[in-house]
Amino acid sequence: MKWCFSGSKKARRNLLRANFTFNQFLDLQFGKRLLASRAFLIFKKSLKKMKKISRPSLQEAEAAVKTLIAWIGDNPDREGLVETPKRVVNAYREFFAGYDVDPEKILGKTFEEVEGYDDIVLLRNMRMESHCEHHMVPFVGKAHIAYIPDKKIVGISKIARLLDVYAKRLQTQETMTAQIAETINKVLKPRGVAVLIDAKHQCMTTRGIHKINTSTVTKRMIGLFKTDLQMERKFLAMISLQEPC
């Protein structure tokens, strides 16, 4: 059988750069589907390394803010704005601190002494703050995260920290919802994971169409929460409970 690769020239260059030959790959099924293989996983890892971005210096970041201030029509050197570039960069360091944390390591410490507990563990009404990757403005709301343990649990504060790690990046709500669920599923290997986020996006409330009362709801169900309708309903009922007096 003749092996072939019908990808783009850029893809071919990437293959050569990673020291791969075409005969290490399975048939591409008309160039649209590549079956999983160890070689392909290594190739994806090499591409990820290629895409790593080096950060500009602190001085370059502050200069960029100064340029934006001038671009909107103000004087970056006047008294009220002269310290603004430094403040903005410091704020961005906090807003986007999630890029410096490995989310999987947060869930690394687990406990197996749970006295046979095998029902839902739910953290509900957790405030979350993130930034839209399209306009770099905030979206703010609540997250509800649940899992059904299989022999081991994790400290509940670690679930909250996991939420913050993904929220403190440029995001879409859909992507963040999936990332949280998939990370819990990968690391804890529970019987089920459920994530629901309800947030208001300032790209819709403070600009553009100005729909101030609109919130966006996203959810991701894995395992029993996806295959067992009763478990999904139980999760949704639990997050709908009234706040205690």
pLDDT value for 244: 54
pLDDT value for 115: 86
Catalytic-residue membership of 144: no
Average pLDDT per 10 consecutive residues for the chain, totaling 245 residues: 52 53 45 49 55 85 97 97 97 97 95 89 97 96 97 95 98 97 97 98 92 94 97 95 59
> Catalytic: which of 24, 182, 203, 232?
203
Q: Which domains does the chain have, with CATH numbers?
A: 9-50 (no CATH), 58-95 (1.10.286.10), 107-239 (3.30.1130.10)
Q: Which of 212, 205, 163, 170 is nearest to 184 (CA)?
A: 163
Catalytic-residue membership of 203: yes
> Catalytic: which of 59, 60, 134, 174?
134
Q: Write down the pTM of the prediction.
A: 0.77
pLDDT value for 114: 83
> Catalytic: which of 60, 104, 129, 133?
133
> Catalytic: which of 62, 131, 132, 179?
132
pLDDT value for 225: 98
pLDDT value for 89: 97
pLDDT value for 55: 87
Catalytic-residue membership of 201: yes
